[in-house]
Amino acid sequence: MPWLAVSAEVEARWADAFSDALLEAGAESTTIESPPGAAPRVGALLAHDAEPGAVVAAAAAHCGLAPAPAFRVEPLADDDWVKRSQAQFTPLEIGRLWIGASWHAAPAGGRSVVRLDPGFAFGTGSHPTTRLMLGYLERELAGGERVLDYGCGSGILAIAAARLGAGRVAAVDVDEQAIAATRDNASRNSLPVAACLPDALPGGVYDIVLSNILAQPLILLAPLLAARTAPGGRLALAGLLDAQADEVRAAYRPALELAIAGRIDEWVLLAGRRR
Q: Which domain holds residue 63?
A: 3-87
Average pLDDT rounded to a whole number, residues 218-240? 96
Share of the chain above pLDDT 90, in %: 57
For residues 115 and 80, state if they share a domain.
no
Helix residue spans in the chain (DSSP H): 15-24, 52-63, 78-87, 128-140, 156-163, 176-188, 215-220, 222-228, 245-252
pLDDT at 190: 95
Total length of the chain: 275
Residue 258: other Cβ atoms inside 10 A: 22
pLDDT at 231: 97
Place 81 in a pLDDT band, splitting at 50, 70 and 90: very low
For residues 74 and 108, state if they share a domain.
no
pLDDT at 125: 56
d(CA 107, CA 6): 34
Place 111 in a pLDDT band, splitting at 50, 70 and 90: confident
Distances (CA, A) of 25 to 21, 54, 139, 177, 245: 6, 9, 31, 10, 26
For residues 163 and 54, state if they share a domain.
no
For residues 155 and 40, state if they share a domain.
no
Tell me the per-residue pLDDT of 137-155, one tens digit each, with 9 for 90 and over.
Answer: 999 999 999 999 999 988 9
Residue 207 has pLDDT above 80, yes or no: yes
In this structure, of 8-12, 60-64, 110-114, 228-232, the range with the lowest mean pLDDT score is 110-114
| Residue 107: DSSP 8-state | P
pLDDT at 120: 42
Residue 86 has pLDDT above 80, yes or no: no
User: Of 66, 87, 108, which marks where a domain is finished?
Assistant: 87
pLDDT at 87: 52
Higher confidence at residue 70 or residue 119? 70
Tell me the per-residue pLDDT of 118-133, one tens digit each, with 9 for 90 and over.
Answer: 654 344 556 788 899 9
Share of the chain above pLDDT 70, in %: 91
pLDDT at 121: 39
Mean pLDDT score of the chain, rounded to an integer?
88
Look up residue 203 and give its amino acid.
Answer: G
Average pLDDT rounded to a whole number, residues 218-227? 97
Domain count, the chain: 2
User: Of 87, 105, 128, which marks where a domain is finished?
Assistant: 87
d(CA 204, CA 177): 25
Average pLDDT rounded to a whole number, residues 254-272? 94
Residue 247 has pLDDT above 70, yes or no: yes
pLDDT at 84: 52
Q: Dump the DSSP string for 18-78.
A: HHHHHHHTT-SEEEEE--TTS--EEEEEE-TT--HHHHHHHHHHHHT-SSPPP-EEEEE-H
Place 57 in a pLDDT band, splitting at 50, 70 and 90: very high
User: Of 87, 103, 126, which marks where a domain is finished?
Assistant: 87
- CATH number of the domain within which 50 lies: 3.30.70.260
In this structure, of 32-41, 57-66, 114-123, 168-177, the range with the lowest mean pLDDT score is 114-123
d(CA 201, CA 158): 15
Out of 16-20, 60-64, 75-79, give the one with best mean pLDDT.
Answer: 60-64
For residues 112 and 218, state if they share a domain.
yes
Residue 80 has pLDDT above 60, yes or no: no
For residues 10 and 114, state if they share a domain.
no
